């Protein structure tokens, strides 16, 4: 029993770690069920809770009702959200001068930045279809 649980959780951890950006619980379910075919969405949520509590994974809010999960050890980065296919990608690098955008006397403690548009695959598929 405990091996099965460990196996499910490590499959979920593996899927999150190997993704190009934060994943929806639904995407996690799709990818992890290739390794663990018996997996269900309730189990995914349960393991996500444990992975967050243990500090391995964090939740990322990319929009209203859009919560995805990514590893905590990726360092400072931002996200690109494809409006067409809905996939999220990590974006490395950071816009400069953010700390200077606030009124004088304010102190910026952290920031989040999400870019919206179309991913390479969606741009390409439109060109070949058109």
Summarize as ranges the residues that interact with Zn ion (CB under 5 A): 82, 84-85, 94, 119, 122
Our CB check for Zn ion shows the closer of 35 and 122 to be 122
Our CB check for Zn ion shows the closer of 5 and 94 to be 94
**Could you tell me the smallest distance in angstroms from the CB atom of residue 84 to Zn ion?**
5
Our CB check for Zn ion shows the closer of 42 and 98 to be 98
List of long-range contacts for 54-63, beta carbons under 8 Å, 24+ apart? 56/13, 57/13, 57/16, 60/22, 60/88, 62/22, 62/88, 62/114, 63/114
Report which DSSP code applies to 11.
Answer: H
The C-alpha atoms of residue 12 and residue 16 are separated, in whole angstroms, by 6
Our CB check for Zn ion shows the closer of 13 and 22 to be 22
Nearest to 83 by CA among 29, 31, 23, 123: 123
**Could you tell me the smallest distance in angstroms from the CB atom of residue 116 to Zn ion?**
11
**Could you tell me the smallest distance in angstroms from the CB atom of residue 105 to Zn ion?**
22
**Could you tell me the smallest distance in angstroms from the CB atom of residue 95 to Zn ion?**
6
The C-alpha atoms of residue 127 and residue 118 are separated, in whole angstroms, by 13
């Amino acid at each position: 029993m405990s091996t099965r649980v460990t196996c499910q959780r490590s499959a979920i951890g593996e899927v999150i770690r190997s993704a190009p950006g934060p994943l929806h619980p639904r995407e996690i379910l799709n990818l992890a069920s290739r390794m663990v075919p018996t997996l269900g969405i309730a189990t995914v949520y349960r393991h996500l809770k444990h992975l967050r509590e243990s500090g391995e994974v964090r939740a990322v809010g990319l929009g209203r009702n859009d919560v995805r999960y990514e590893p905590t050890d990726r360092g400072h980065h931002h996200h690109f959200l494809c409006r067409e296919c809905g996939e999220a990608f990590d974006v490395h690098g950071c816009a400069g001068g953010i700390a200077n955008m606030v009124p004088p006397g304010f102190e910026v403690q952290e920031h989040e930045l999400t870019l919206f548009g179309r991913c390479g695959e969606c741009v390409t598929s439109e060109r070949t279809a058109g």
